[in-house]
Each structure stands twice: as C-alpha cells, then as structure tokens.
C-alpha cells in the first residue's frame, strides 16, 4: 500500500495550525484541486477528445482563445461556484468578475485564476498550467464588485499552480513555505513529493523572450548583455538561457533549480505596462517565489506591494533567485 501524504491530508494538517479554522478553506482548496485534476485529464487526452486548436473567439485581452482555455475556465467555475466558500471569482477568460449564482450559498473568499496559462503551447504539446490566487472578501461584503478584488498581493491567503507536464504537479503556499505534489493517476490523488521547496539565491540561468530585445529598457538590456558576454564579460561567468513561453513551467524550473524569469516592460506597445497580468499571474507566482526565498519585482517595486487598479492590469515581471533579481533592480536604480 502507498504511504504518501495526500494534498488533502497535508492541507488539513496545515489548517490545524490556524486557530479558529473552520474547514472552509480546506474544502475550497479541495474544489480547486479537483478542477486541476479534470483539466489535467483534458490536456492529457488532447487530440483524442478534440480539445486542441482554437475556439472562434477572443478574450478580454484580445487574445485568440484555445478550445482548452474555454474548457478549463468552465471547469474551474463549475468546480467552485456551488460549495459556498466563494463570494465571487475573476478569470483571465472573463471580461468582468463572476458573481456566485443566486442558487448557491456565498462564502468569504475570492478566487482569481488563469485557467490555462501558456495555452499557445497546447497544440504543440508543451507544458501548460493553471494559476490561482485566493483573497478574503472584505468583511460585510456579500455582493463583491471589481473593487473588492483590487487588493495587493500581500493580502493573498493562498497561491498555487498546477503544471500539466510529463507529470501533473501541484505547487501550493498558504504563507508557510511552498510544497509540491505529484498526481498519482492510479488513485487520482496529489501526493506530497517536494516538501519545502526553496529557490537558490544564485543562478546562472535566465529566461526571457529575446525577440523583444530591441524594445527593452536599458537596465534589462544591460543585465542580459552581461549574461550573454559570459566569462569574458562583467559577470565573469557563463550563463544559460531558457524560454518555454509558459510562465508556470518557467516558475517551476526556478523553484526546482533556481533561475531568473523576466517579462519586462518593453516599448513594443507603449500602452502596455507589461505582458503578464498582476492579479492572477504575477501576484500568485510572486507569493510562491517569495515564500520559497526568492524575490519578485517590476524592476522598480515589489510586485506584491502594488495597489491594483484593474483585475486585468498588466505588470513587468522579474522574479526568481534573490541575488539576480536584486541585481536587475539595482540596475534600474542606476
Ligand atoms: P511570449 C503565456 O501566454 C504567457 O502569459 C506566459 O505564460 C508566458 O511566460 C508568456 O505569456 C509568453 O509570452 O510573448 O513569449 O509568447
């Protein structure tokens, strides 16, 4: 018989640490985990069940939606709207917030998510993921508005992602470190396989979409040039580069072996502050990386301290190994 610790057991044991915990949070997390298992099954079957390819629609970001984007979004909503733990949800795939239907009880949490991050990769069988963030609904608010979601990342009570790769992984933090679980398909349970994940403070591996190089600001140009100059350059070290175009995969690599991930501000579209979204990509990933001993900045400020102005707000993201992130931040100060 297996003797692994399931994510349910882990969460309940974690919850015992929280005085006055009602089991509400544990049950909410279980519903999110169920959604990730269902999405994993769909992603894994792919062409066999006709979920690849694009839908004939665009999301609020103006991005063409993949069929699996819409399916994953629907799975997260249907798995979480009924149980009475949430007051509302916000999704990359939904223009406005998603209020809990009147037929269901409401709860005290807000769920924000990117149902299928990196979905442009799904048709070429490269890893994709689901990112989620949990906030408390402000006290006394039963009909939350967009404004109730606009809380800084430091207010998150939980952040996590599922990574649909060679294995399906779940990585989670509730503010007490970061723990990783692997889906055992034979029993349909996530088993604790990576307790206490930490990001090495130093790295010689950077991740950035270099095709945007001519649009970067000077501090990022300088940092990447120094990496590319290798031993003969200012850093006196050789660097390696990765770019998967799936933030979940990049962050997981960084949690596993270190690294720095950058999607900086660029002048390609001056109206955009960055590509990645603050509320359901940058903030949850920042909480995870910081809880694992890493750092996460726009280059000019700590991402988790930003006061959001819109649920789909974009921000520059520089996150990962603390000493490298701090170096890039110092270049922004120079
Ligand atoms: P590009 C995926 O669309 C995403 O939001 C992140 O997961 C990923 O890091 C980035 O965009 C990739 O962007 O411009 O390289 O396609």
CATH number at residue 177: 3.30.540.10
Q: Are residues 119 and 24 in the same domain?
A: yes
- Measure Cα distances from 328 to 16, 218, 257, 288 in Å: 40, 11, 19, 20
Atom of ligand 1 nearest to the CA of 263: 9
- For the Cβ of 117 lying below 6 angstroms from any atom of ligand 1, the answer is yes
Q: What's the gap in Å between 118 CA and the centre of ligand 1?
A: 6
At 27-79, the pLDDT tens digits run 999 999 999 999 999 999 998 988 888 888 888 777 888 889 999 999 999 99
Q: What's the gap in Å between 247 CA and the centre of ligand 1?
A: 6
At 282-330, the pLDDT tens digits run 999 999 999 999 999 999 999 999 999 999 999 999 999 999 999 999 9
C-beta separation of 159 from 255 below 8 A: no
What token pair was written down for 305? 């301290």
Q: What's the gap in Å between 208 CA and the centre of ligand 1?
A: 10
Using DSSP bridges, classify how beta strands 240-242 and 260-263 pair: parallel, antiparallel or unpaired: unpaired
Q: Are residues 88 and 166 in the same domain?
A: yes
Kindly indicate the confidence band of residue 1, based on its pLDDT and cuts at 50, 70 and 90: low
- Give me the residues paired with residue 189 across strands: 184
> How far apart, in whole angstroms, are the C-alpha atoms of residue 35 and residue 275?
26
CATH for 265:
3.40.190.80
- For the Cβ of 245 lying below 6 angstroms from any atom of ligand 1, the answer is yes
Residue-number span of the structural domain to which 96 is assigned: 7-194
Atom of ligand 1 nearest to the CA of 118: 2
Q: Are residues 218 and 187 in the same domain?
A: no
Do the domain assignments include residue 314? yes
Mean pLDDT across the chain, nearest whole number? Answer: 95
Q: Are residues 213 and 289 in the same domain?
A: yes
- Does the structure show a pLDDT above 80 at 17? no
- Give me the residues paired with residue 130 across strands: 162
Q: Are residues 218 and 69 in the same domain?
A: no
- Give me the residues paired with residue 194 across strands: 180
Using DSSP bridges, classify how beta strands 86-91 and 109-117 pair: parallel, antiparallel or unpaired: parallel
């Amino acid at each position: 018989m297996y003797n692994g610790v399931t994510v349910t057991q882990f969460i309940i044991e974690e919850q015992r640490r929280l005085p006055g915990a009602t089991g509400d949070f544990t049950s909410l997390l279980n519903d999110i985990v169920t959604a990730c298992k269902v999405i994993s099954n769909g992603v894994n079957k792919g062409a066999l069940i006709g979920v690849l390819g694009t839908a004939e629609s665009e999301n609020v970001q103006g991005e063409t939606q993949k069929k699996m984007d819409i399916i994953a979004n629907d799975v997260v909503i249907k798995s979480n709207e009924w149980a009475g733990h949430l007051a509302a949800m916000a999704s990359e795939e939904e223009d406005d917030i998603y209020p809990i239907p009147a037929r269901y009880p409401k709860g005290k949490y807000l769920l924000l998510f990117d149902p299928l991050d990196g979905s442009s990769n799904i048709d070429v069988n490269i890893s994709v993921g689901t990112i989620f963030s949990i906030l408390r609904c402000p006290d006394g608010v039963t009909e939350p508005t967009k404004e109730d979601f606009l809380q800084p990342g430091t207010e998150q009570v939980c952040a996590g992602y599922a990574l649909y790769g060679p294995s399906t992984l779940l990585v989670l933090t509730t503010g007490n470190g970061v723990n990783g679980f692997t889906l055992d398909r034979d029993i349909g349970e996530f088993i604790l396989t990576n307790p206490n994940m930490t990001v090495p403070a130093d790295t010689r591996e950077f991740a950035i979409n270099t095709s945007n190089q001519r649009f970067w600001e000077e501090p990022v140009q300088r940092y990447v040039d120094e990496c590319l100059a290798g031993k003969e350059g200012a850093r006196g070290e050789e660097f390696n580069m990765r770019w998967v175009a799936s933030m979940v995969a990049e962050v997981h690599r960084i949690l596993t072996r270190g690294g720095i991930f950058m999607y900086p501000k660029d002048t390609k579209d001056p109206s955009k502050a960055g590509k990645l979204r603050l509320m359901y990509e940058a903030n949850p990933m920042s909480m995870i990386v910081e809880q694992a001993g890493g750092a996460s900045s726009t280059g000019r400020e700590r991402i988790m301290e930003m006061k959001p102005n819109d649920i789909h707000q974009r921000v520059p993201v520089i996150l990962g190994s603390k000493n490298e992130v701090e170096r890039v931040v110092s270049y922004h100060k120079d």
